Amino acid sequence: MATRPMARTDFASPPHGDPPLETETLRARLAATRARTLALAAPLGPEDMAAQAIEEASPTKWHLAHTSWFFETFVLARFLPGYRLFDPAFGYCFNSYYESAGARQPRPRRGLLSQPSLERVMAYRRHVEEALEQLFDSGLAPQSEAARLLELGLQHEQQHQELILSDILALFAANPLRPAYRAAPPRGLCGPPEPLRWIGYAGGIVRIGSDADDHFAFDRDFAFDNETPRHDALIHPFEIADRLVTNAEWLEFIEDGGYGDPAFWLFDGWTTIQREGWEAPAYWERRGGLWLAMTLEGLRPLEPAAPVVHVSFYEADAFARWAGARLPTEFEWETVAQQEPVAGNLLEDGALRPLPPAETFQGHARQLFGDVWEWTGNAYLPYPAYRRPAGAIGEYNAKFMCDQHVLRGGCCATPQSHIRASYRNFLYARQRWLFAGLRLARDVGR
Amino acid sequence: MATRPMARTDFASPPHGDPPLETETLRARLAATRARTLALAAPLGPEDMAAQAIEEASPTKWHLAHTSWFFETFVLARFLPGYRLFDPAFGYCFNSYYESAGARQPRPRRGLLSQPSLERVMAYRRHVEEALEQLFDSGLAPQSEAARLLELGLQHEQQHQELILSDILALFAANPLRPAYRAAPPRGLCGPPEPLRWIGYAGGIVRIGSDADDHFAFDRDFAFDNETPRHDALIHPFEIADRLVTNAEWLEFIEDGGYGDPAFWLFDGWTTIQREGWEAPAYWERRGGLWLAMTLEGLRPLEPAAPVVHVSFYEADAFARWAGARLPTEFEWETVAQQEPVAGNLLEDGALRPLPPAETFQGHARQLFGDVWEWTGNAYLPYPAYRRPAGAIGEYNAKFMCDQHVLRGGCCATPQSHIRASYRNFLYARQRWLFAGLRLARDVGR
Amino acid sequence: MATRPMARTDFASPPHGDPPLETETLRARLAATRARTLALAAPLGPEDMAAQAIEEASPTKWHLAHTSWFFETFVLARFLPGYRLFDPAFGYCFNSYYESAGARQPRPRRGLLSQPSLERVMAYRRHVEEALEQLFDSGLAPQSEAARLLELGLQHEQQHQELILSDILALFAANPLRPAYRAAPPRGLCGPPEPLRWIGYAGGIVRIGSDADDHFAFDRDFAFDNETPRHDALIHPFEIADRLVTNAEWLEFIEDGGYGDPAFWLFDGWTTIQREGWEAPAYWERRGGLWLAMTLEGLRPLEPAAPVVHVSFYEADAFARWAGARLPTEFEWETVAQQEPVAGNLLEDGALRPLPPAETFQGHARQLFGDVWEWTGNAYLPYPAYRRPAGAIGEYNAKFMCDQHVLRGGCCATPQSHIRASYRNFLYARQRWLFAGLRLARDVGR
Amino acid sequence: MATRPMARTDFASPPHGDPPLETETLRARLAATRARTLALAAPLGPEDMAAQAIEEASPTKWHLAHTSWFFETFVLARFLPGYRLFDPAFGYCFNSYYESAGARQPRPRRGLLSQPSLERVMAYRRHVEEALEQLFDSGLAPQSEAARLLELGLQHEQQHQELILSDILALFAANPLRPAYRAAPPRGLCGPPEPLRWIGYAGGIVRIGSDADDHFAFDRDFAFDNETPRHDALIHPFEIADRLVTNAEWLEFIEDGGYGDPAFWLFDGWTTIQREGWEAPAYWERRGGLWLAMTLEGLRPLEPAAPVVHVSFYEADAFARWAGARLPTEFEWETVAQQEPVAGNLLEDGALRPLPPAETFQGHARQLFGDVWEWTGNAYLPYPAYRRPAGAIGEYNAKFMCDQHVLRGGCCATPQSHIRASYRNFLYARQRWLFAGLRLARDVGR
């Protein structure tokens, strides 16, 4: 049976030893974050870091540069007197989607940026980091705009850490050699999943979201604008599964003809699986009657008790219908998660794949944080009285509030200090390249 | 100034004179509905009825046949002993999207069905209607499954009445001759729109939706499954505009560069207007410095005080942001509408275009019903504890609950007996061919 | 065994009785041609005449109008003093591809022209014909530009007669009801094809093409510019089949895995059949183990001895390679055809489908004219010293001399007076909707 | 004025000093060819070698591997007893288009092959080269199949040398930084082009093509199958320009509205330039009123007297029509070229860009070999009595004989020993990424 690893992998270690991330200053946290980004890229060769498998995914090198561009553009150019742009052409190359920051390399063509070379991008990172040191040296008021944007840049870089992993997996899965991001020993057989248990919740008015937006810097209260404002929401009585849906359960769905019966599917989902020829989660392939899955450790046998991962919203929704249940709402999920510690199989654990749940702790939902992002039944929409931030930062989250779907809880590639109960991730329903899976919920008493 | 017409147009008259629709029996209402469908098609030639301008729109002839196929497939074949299919091949031709009813003509190819001819489709309609008469003659329990499905078929046909009009407008707008569905005299100049007034509402728990689903037949309590179950929702204090957004206001938005500034737009919206080259609502065209709009009466000058129509969700959302406001939620809208009579510029009024609002009635929102469907800020999602109906009827509304947006209130092409406060229409964000516009809302006290 | 019909169908009869087409004046030939166009459209309803199945094909109504627009634009507007355009908007609607004649309805959207109605198009035809009568009444010099353009317009209309038939077949083949253009009695069984015989030709300098371009009007020497100038060409010794490739032979090709083995195919051909899923000629469908083919008489069993039809160049080329032969060059074909009378299964015969060859006439190639257009091995290129005509007429043939392929000999839908040994038709390699098949050739002595 | 460089660049030097390529043995020529391939790649970093800008172009690394795969698959695996495949998975990765050699990485996805790494591909090259040494050591009969395929592999690798350069230019032109393949000093101003002179040729029977196909190995008589068999062709009197069309002349065409007037264009060409928005040759860009062109030396000012390059067939054909001339046929071109030495601005000259012509040598056409591939008026078709080779080699050239166009003469990236008067290159009409330009011709006496 696969078990959670005891030791952290090297790249996940903070560069400084003792002080826990929670108590470090912003400066130290920033340095540690930047260092971890490099550590994540370390196993890759320059060609691996330059290629782009799909429109959604970006080359590692691009992530390395873009996260530096973010600091350069939104912090250094505004707050460090005399700051010199490393290369004025980099704005075009490494702006992701900020209309207010000017024209940019079209997203599907990021893989064409063979130049600037990796070496030059590394020099860019150092240039930016040295300037950040200067900025810190010059003194920085905790609640200043610069400090707030530094914190945002740190959080932003954490998001790209996760993307480095999901994107390199997309690249390697598209490679006929199915290369591994890291070597792994053969694993023992994984046992069957435990039975699912339902945990019941009463309905009522609950408090949702964060009120962090006015004072997030230099403390642990950071939240993105899309988690605000904190507000009342009404939930109805429901039950929620105490663990994630497993590979074994997904195989049952496949074997029961789940991908062949339109009755389980949303119209857009059915159209999509027909057009794309999907018959299983992304990265699953059947070889000689056996299901394998492409992972960061290469092509591996499925682990029955591990959570299913790399499914679209369409598939998650269809599975839930097949199972006689539904996806939880994001408010139900947050209500449950508010009661649990932010702990789980996250990036620092170093597993880099979802794992079977730990032993049952009666009445508690497990795997809420880490393992896989959990699709909810909610469209990604602004909270009541949400105010779109002014300027470029208003493009960070707000402009995507249309036809995307909320996911909660982080995954095995999410830094522990990045996730929280109120965190809202979002994807288009068709997207499968992130580490996304699902948990079931159901109505009560009807 | 354009005023609301006093007299109904002929085609909108029920075939029987006196009894109001409200009190007619299902049989009479059904006959009246079928007759009105034909009346709506009457101005069109056989070629007009056969062509398909865009994937979303269908030929009139197809609507005539499909609404008959609906009764044949879901009522007659199941409940009329000995019923003989008019033509077994019609199932393929005229099934819209019911996977459970078998294979079908691909949607974008409905315009290739030059055969069966209009004449034969009319014979199909009569064949079905005669069989429905037999079914009625044989007696029909008010709450029977057959009666429920007859009511559903009636409501379904009403929906297609509206589509006949929106779809023929799409066809004529795509025709270089810009033909008119009906002739119209020149109209007098329309005055400027009145100032908008805000009406305030307190927040709290409100009752939303309908509880009609268990006993809808033979009374006026019909509701679609997607309006159920009736449930509590929490709304926050808000203000809502007492009238719809006008053409004059939309022109201001255009002239202020609204279509050229990404700050107003959702990411998907900006991508769409760039790709499509949209610079105005659908059917607007500038000729010699003057804005005209294609209507069912041909190409006409814009009426400044009339509601803007044929805008996408993207545009409605961008306009609201430009105006410093937002779209109402569907729950806010329904709360407001529950307090008003179901009356307005609907199909029976015969205007066939949105009209300027009637004189102010202090503290009341006007134009809630009719004129244009109003985009809300909500994704089209199931209500709490919604149950997807079994079988084909479960495909009617439920499978579309993904990445569509709720519109409320009906439009100038919606039959009066078809609309109500709880009615939920839904479209993809990009769609513009229905009669859709918007009303502004805003938060209070933040 | 299928035999050639004795009686001509009505629509093929010239409106005046006795004088053979050959000796009629241009005026009479023009009247007869216009009348035959209407006769070809006569079996169709208004909806059939308005729909467009594929981009290459046009609605019958569009053909009726376009052939009138051609006379209006290139003859009447230029040569009939005081001529009044029937409707100035028709230029946009019915210009096919003449850049020099202004903007036009995009080709794939011809099926959206539900307006102008058929009735109005018929009035357009009469308007043009009355004006043509006036032009003739006013006297017309035999070699005048006007006379030359009238002849061109007549030839143009003959081309559209063939297109009316091929295009309506494309429409009806796309219709799930598989309607027939005309009714037909069941036919007796058709015997097996006769063995193919090879006819040998020595190589050498041959005369190719026509020198008709300077004096074509009012006599039978009309040729298109693309057949000119008459010039020497060098051919090498070859053998050519005395008949067309048959359905029976094509079935052998299919059963031998012809569509599954890339060794037989050109690269572009293989790519095309993979992408399109082609496994047989257009309009063939296998039902219950039996091959049927959609024809102008509806879905019919294959006739083994009849020529295969509706194959692309890719398929013709692959078949020839499979058969150990090749397609003839257009110069080989023309050399052979120069020695035979212009006779065969043409439009006037009324069969409207390719037929088995008549009995052998030793040493003569049969089926050269009529039955099916024969793909040659030649790209459609200008002849040596070809001069592109000035103005719009230069767009008639010349601008298509790129990446199309020459076909020779006419088909069962080609008017007899329209075809000749030097006639060059041309299609893209992928196109299958015309009546096109093939004849084999091979090298000698190598 | 730009002049031809005196010194060869390093990478163009053969690895062994004295013996001219002409007299080297196959073994030495092969070693020299393989070494030059590496020299061409030497200026590039690993990321530059891995990216793919457009579907037609391939990554350098892929070229390095594919040319090795060619020897491995068609020579070593068949003729070297005990040969061990370097990696069985490489067949999938590096097969280009040989259906008979099995499945392969889709062409547009070659840039996803970040693995195998460059290092591993270099090891592959060495592995193959060591095996080739063994094969030579084991003795090889001059006319053996193995020797013939080695020669073919050498010629094949020469073709890919040219592609390495054109493909890296495509990549760097798509990069917003416009990087240079090699640095270059600023150049002096280039003078205006000399006047064009016409050289006349009488018509008649000429000998075209090569008879080399039965005994090509170990001597200089190699030719590709598509140049065979040598045969008679008939040409008509013509005149041909004594030099290539220049950038200065192309600017005149642009300034005369050449890209805006459909009268100059083939139908497919006009459609293409409208769709693609072409207004100049590929890689031209106007900055601040000045035309620059992207070259292997980065973005440089246009040289007026240098040949225009990176134009499609459509553009070449339109230019010729605008100039009152036409493209030469491939037979005219070959007739002219048979009379001139195979010399010019070829790869070994190291200019890597087309250059102005050398001084006039009265009555001789210049720039026939090297500088730019010259579009001809011919479709790429088999010669009379051409026989497609059996097996995979039959896929080398033969399967592309459809809808491509013949180019003649080689370019500044073509090895000198690779080109000859009978050499036929071929491209689709739309393709511009090779070094292709044009020379004018015209008819005489008509």
Q: What is the CATH number of the domain that holds A297?
A: 3.90.1580.10
Contact yes or no for B206/B232 (Cβ under 8 A): yes
Please check whether residues B152 and B282 belong to one and the same domain: no
Please check whether residues C156 and C237 belong to one and the same domain: no
Euclidean distance between CA atoms A119 and B160, whole angstroms: 63
What is the DSSP secondary structure assignment for residue A19, as one 8-state letter? S
Q: Which residues of C28-53 are buried (b: 16+ CB within 10 A; e: fewer)?
A: ebbbbbbbbbebbbeebbbbbbbbbb
Please check whether residues B332 and B437 belong to one and the same domain: yes
Euclidean distance between CA atoms A417 and C140, whole angstroms: 92
Cβ separation B267–A231 shorter than 8 A: no
In sequence order, the 6+-apart residues with CB closer than 8 A to the CB of A345 are A4, A351, A354, A355, A367, A370, A371, A412
In this prediction, residue A141 carries a pLDDT of 82
The DSSP bridge partners found for residue D298 are D295
Which residues of chain D approach chain C closer than 8 Å at the C-beta?
A: 97, 99-100, 205, 229, 231-234, 236, 262-263, 265-270, 313-314, 317, 321, 377-379, 381-382, 384-385, 387-388, 394, 399-403, 429, 443, 446
The DSSP bridge partners found for residue C198 are C241
Q: What is the pLDDT of residues A244-270, one digit of tens each?
A: 999 999 999 999 999 999 999 999 999
In sequence order, the 6+-apart residues with CB closer than 8 A to the CB of B101 are B73, B91, B95, B392
In sequence order, the 6+-apart residues with CB closer than 8 A to the CB of C355 are C2, C3, C4, C306, C307, C345, C371, C412
Which residues of chain B approach chain C closer than 8 Å at the C-beta?
A: 45-51, 53, 61, 89, 92-93, 105, 109, 111-118, 171-172, 174-177, 179
Of C59-63, C150-154, C378-382, D360-364, the poorest mean pLDDT is in D360-364
In this prediction, residue C362 carries a pLDDT of 79
Q: Tell whether C5 is covered by a domain.
A: no
Euclidean distance between CA atoms C234 and C201, whole angstroms: 13
In this prediction, residue A50 carries a pLDDT of 98
Chains interfacing with A (3 or more CB pairs < 8 Å): B, D
Helix (H) / strand (E) element for A138: namely none
In this prediction, residue A369 carries a pLDDT of 98
Q: Tell whether B228 is covered by a domain.
A: no
> Nearest residue of D to residue C387 by CA position?
D446
Q: What is the pLDDT of residues C77-112, one digit of tens each?
A: 999 999 999 999 999 999 999 999 999 999 999 999
Please write down the long-range contacts of A277-284, taking CB distance under 8 Å and 24 or more positions apart: A278/A312, A278/A315, A279/A254, A280/A254, A281/A250, A281/A308, A281/A309, A281/A310, A281/A311, A281/A315, A281/A432, A282/A173, A282/A310, A282/A311, A282/A312, A282/A432, A282/A433, A283/A169, A283/A173, A283/A310, A284/A310
In this prediction, residue C141 carries a pLDDT of 82
Q: What is the pLDDT of residues D113-164, one digit of tens each?
A: 999 999 999 999 999 999 999 999 988 887 789 999 999 999 999 999 999 9
Q: Tell whether B204 is covered by a domain.
A: no
Q: Tell whether B396 is covered by a domain.
A: yes
Please check whether residues D157 and D209 belong to one and the same domain: no
The domain boundary residue, chosen from B173, B202, B223: B173
Nearest to D45 among A51, A92, A117 (CB): A117
User: Which residue matches tokens 């070699």?
Assistant: C143
In this prediction, residue B62 carries a pLDDT of 98
Q: Tell whether C186 is covered by a domain.
A: no
The mean pLDDT of C202-206, rounded to a whole number, is 96
Q: Tell whether A312 is covered by a domain.
A: yes
Residue C217 pLDDT exceeds 50: no
Euclidean distance between CA atoms C60 and B73, whole angstroms: 34
B114, B119, B120, B122, best to mutate vs chain C, most C CBs in 10 Å:
B114
> Nearest residue of C to residue D269 by CA position?
C402
Q: Tell whether B197 is covered by a domain.
A: no
Euclidean distance between CA atoms A70 and C171, whole angstroms: 57
Contact yes or no for D342/D420 (Cβ under 8 A): yes
Beta carbons within 10 angstroms of residue B225's beta carbon = 21
CA distances (Å), B267 to each of A312, A316, B318, B375, C10, in order? 21, 25, 11, 18, 63
Q: What would you report as the CA-atom Rg of chain B, rounded to the nearest whole angstrom? A: 22
Residue B247 pLDDT exceeds 70: yes
Helix (H) / strand (E) element for B425: namely strand B425-427
Euclidean distance between CA atoms A211 and A389, whole angstroms: 15
In this prediction, residue B25 carries a pLDDT of 86
Please check whether residues B166 and B286 belong to one and the same domain: no
Backbone angles phi, psi at B395, to 5 degrees: -85, -10
CA distances (Å), A398 to each of A151, A212, A227, D117, in order? 18, 17, 11, 40
Contact yes or no for D347/D416 (Cβ under 8 A): yes
The mean pLDDT of B314-318, rounded to a whole number, is 98
Interface TM-score (ipTM) > 0.90: yes
Nearest to D402 among C268, C321, C394 (CB): C268
* 3-state SS class at D83: coil
Tokens of A378: 């909610």
Helix (H) / strand (E) element for A279: namely none
Euclidean distance between CA atoms A209 and A228, whole angstroms: 6
Euclidean distance between CA atoms C298 and D285, whole angstroms: 56
Q: Tell whether D193 is covered by a domain.
A: no
Helix (H) / strand (E) element for D426: namely strand D425-427
In sequence order, the 6+-apart residues with CB closer than 8 A to the CB of B85 are B72, B77, B91
Sheet holding A298-301, edge to edge: A284-287, A290-295, A298-301
Which residues of chain C approach chain B closer than 8 Å at the C-beta?
A: 45-51, 53, 61, 89, 92-93, 105, 109, 111-118, 171-172, 174-177, 179
Closest to A2 measured CA to CA, from A366, A413, A438, A358? A358
The mean pLDDT of B379-392, rounded to a whole number, is 94
Polymer length of chain C: 446
The mean pLDDT of B235-264, rounded to a whole number, is 98
Contact yes or no for A200/A335 (Cβ under 8 A): no
Q: How far apart are the first and last CA of chain B?
A: 39
In this prediction, residue C189 carries a pLDDT of 65
The domain boundary residue, chosen from B119, B151, B173: B173
In this prediction, residue A212 carries a pLDDT of 78
Tokens of D129: 């080269």
Find chain D residues with C-beta within 8 A of A48's C-beta: 114-115
Task: For chains D and A, tell me whether 3 or more CB atom pairs sit within 8 A of each other.
Answer: yes
In this prediction, residue A189 carries a pLDDT of 65
Low-confidence stretches of chain A (pLDDT beneath 70): 1-24, 188-190, 213-220, 446
Handedness of CA B139, B141, B146, B152 (dihedral sign): positive
In this prediction, residue C359 carries a pLDDT of 78
In this prediction, residue D213 carries a pLDDT of 59
Please check whether residues D217 and D270 belong to one and the same domain: yes
Handedness of CA A302, A303, A304, A305 (dihedral sign): negative
In this prediction, residue B446 carries a pLDDT of 52
In this prediction, residue C10 carries a pLDDT of 33
Please check whether residues D426 and D312 belong to one and the same domain: yes
Tokens of A243: 């663990």
Euclidean distance between CA atoms B76 and B83, whole angstroms: 6
In sequence order, the 6+-apart residues with CB closer than 8 A to the CB of B67 are B37, B153, B156, B157, B160
Please check whether residues B280 and B131 belong to one and the same domain: no
Please check whether residues D44 and D134 belong to one and the same domain: yes
Backbone angles phi, psi at B205, to 5 degrees: -80, 130
Nearest to C429 among D262, D313, D403 (CB): D403
Average pLDDT, chain C: 91
Residue B15 pLDDT exceeds 90: no
Contact yes or no for B295/B169 (Cβ under 8 A): yes
Nearest to C236 among D236, D382, D385 (CB): D385
Residue C376 pLDDT exceeds 70: yes
What is the DSSP secondary structure assignment for residue C112, as one 8-state letter? G
Q: Is the bond preceding C304 in cis, omega lying within 30 degrees of 0? A: no
Please check whether residues C219 and C134 belong to one and the same domain: no
The domain boundary residue, chosen from B173, B201, B218: B173
Nearest to D234 among C229, C234, C268 (CB): C234
Please check whether residues A102 and A241 belong to one and the same domain: no
Q: What is the pLDDT of residues B49-107, one digit of tens each?
A: 999 999 999 999 999 999 999 999 999 999 999 999 999 999 999 999 999 999 999 99
Q: Is the bond preceding C229 in cis, omega lying within 30 degrees of 0? A: yes
Find chain D residues with C-beta within 8 A of C394's C-beta: 263
Find chain A residues with C-beta within 8 A of D62's C-beta: none
The DSSP bridge partners found for residue D436 are D373
> Nearest residue of C to residue B50 by CA position?
C47
Residue C17 pLDDT exceeds 50: no
Structural domain that includes position A232: 198-443
Q: Which residues of A195-229 are buried (b: 16+ CB within 10 A; e: fewer)?
A: ebbeeebebeebebbbebbeebbbeeebbbbbbbb
Beta carbons within 10 angstroms of residue D387's beta carbon = 15
What is the DSSP secondary structure assignment for residue C396, as one 8-state letter? T
In this prediction, residue A18 carries a pLDDT of 40
In this prediction, residue B213 carries a pLDDT of 59
Euclidean distance between CA atoms D148 and D218, whole angstroms: 8
User: Which residue matches tokens 């010349």?
Assistant: C398
Please check whether residues B324 and B409 belong to one and the same domain: yes
* Alpha carbon of D355: minimum distance to chain C alpha carbons (Å): 30
* Alpha carbon of C65: minimum distance to chain D alpha carbons (Å): 23
Nearest to A443 among B269, B379, B385 (CB): B385
* Alpha carbon of A213: minimum distance to chain B alpha carbons (Å): 14
* Alpha carbon of D107: minimum distance to chain C alpha carbons (Å): 12
Closest to D174 measured CA to CA, from D84, D311, D308, D55? D55
Q: Domain tally for chain A?
A: 2
Q: Tell me, what amino acid is at B291?
A: W
Low-confidence stretches of chain D (pLDDT beneath 70): 1-24, 188-190, 213-220, 446
CA distances (Å), B435 to each of B248, B354, B409, C32, C242, in order? 17, 8, 11, 50, 65
In this prediction, residue A213 carries a pLDDT of 59
